[in-house]
Amino acid sequence: MKRIIFASVILFASCKKETDNPYNSNLTGNLSVEFDNIAGSSDLQLNTATYNNAVGESFKVTKLKYYVSNFSLTKADGSTYTIPQDSCYFLIDESASSSTRPVLKVPEGEYKTLSFVLGVDSLRNTMDVSKRTGVLDPTTSAADMYWGWNSGYIFFKAEGTSTAANGSNFAYHVGGFGGYSTPTVNNLRKITIDLSARGTAKVKAGKSSNIHLFADLLKAFNGTTNMSFASVAMIHSATAGTPVANNAAFMFTHDHTEN
């Protein structure tokens, strides 16, 4: 008899919990998105470590920088929250650990999908320079990530050395938002990541959640097109960068979420 009473109390308690919504969407919490740059199965190390691409060329990486922007988050019920665009441009720089974990202000809720753009959208590329501040300022933070008015921002930049490269250096600069007065190819890529298998983000006011992503540089070199430093050591135009943009769209995976 005691057992039956105990069981029904548990049943009642669990039913009640399910109907309670623990989130108040009028409140805002911190959600960081961590871009953990890796190379295959190892953490990316600038300057020191040697890696191999899919065509068997060894290389070292001296620089990895890329823009991520226009983040949005979707709940299980399909409703989406888009981060206000003005505050949603980030420059991930492997040499500056403070840059690799942007913090978003998000209404409380459980989010199962994360989307963002790899690059800087065409609208922002063509805005007056007064609207392109912080990491987008072409005279400071973006000085080495900007081609000029028509070609706009370099979205993704990887540089390093390889004995396979003629001249022993490689530089892959990928940009091209579609062009303003003269059309260019569009190398913007939208990334959508399902968090449900490895941990949804449970955002609560006063708490900090972190979506830990891996960004695998090898996948930017290897993929639909396996890049070869012997054939292409330098990329400095939108057209030449398309194969790398196509590969890089698949470099991001979700490892886990800390709630």
Distances in Å between the alpha carbon of 251 and those of 111, 214, 216, 233? 21, 8, 5, 20
Phi and psi angles of residue 129, each rounded to the nearest 5 degrees, phi first = -60, -25
CB of 213 to Cu ion, least distance (A): 9
Give 120-148 as a DSSP string.
--HHHHTS-GGG--GGG-TTTTTTTSB--
Kindly indicate which of the ranges 5-13, 19-27, 83-91, 212-220 contains the residues binding Cu ion, using the contact rule CB under 5 A: 212-220
Q: Which is nearer to Cu ion, 60 or 212 (CB)?
A: 212
For 164, the token pair is 């396979």
Query: Scanning residues 112 to 171, which ones bind Cu ion (CB under 5 A)?
Result: none
CB of 193 to Cu ion, least distance (A): 14
Could you say whether residue 198 binds Cu ion (CB under 5 A)?
no
Q: Identify any residues that bridge with 29 across adjacent strands, giving them in sequence order.
A: 106
Number of residues that bind Cu ion (CB under 5 A): 1
Name, in order, each residue with C-beta under 8 angstroms of 73's C-beta and a sequence gap of 6 or more.
Answer: 31, 80, 81, 104, 106, 111, 113, 114, 115, 201
CB of 257 to Cu ion, least distance (A): 8
CB of 98 to Cu ion, least distance (A): 16
For 186, the token pair is 């569009």
Q: Mask of contacts with Cu ion, 73-92, x by CB under 5 A?
A: --------------------
Name, in order, each residue with C-beta under 8 angstroms of 221's C-beta and a sequence gap of 6 or more.
Answer: 53, 54, 158, 227, 244, 247
- Torsion region of 247: left, alpha or beta (phi above 0 gives left; psi -120 to 50 gives alpha): alpha
Q: Which is nearer to Cu ion, 212 or 254 (CB)?
A: 212
CB of 195 to Cu ion, least distance (A): 13
62/1 Cα distance (integer angstroms): 71
Q: Which of 63, 198, 202, 212 forms a contact with Cu ion (CB under 5 A)?
A: 212
Kindly indicate which of the ranges 77-85, 206-214, 224-232, 238-246 contains the residues binding Cu ion, using the contact rule CB under 5 A: 206-214
Which residue is closest to Cu ion by CB?
A: 212
> How far from the centroid of its chain's Cα atoms is residue 143's Cα?
21
CB of 34 to Cu ion, least distance (A): 6
Using CB under 5 A as the criterion, which residues of the chain lie in contact with Cu ion when the complex forms? 212
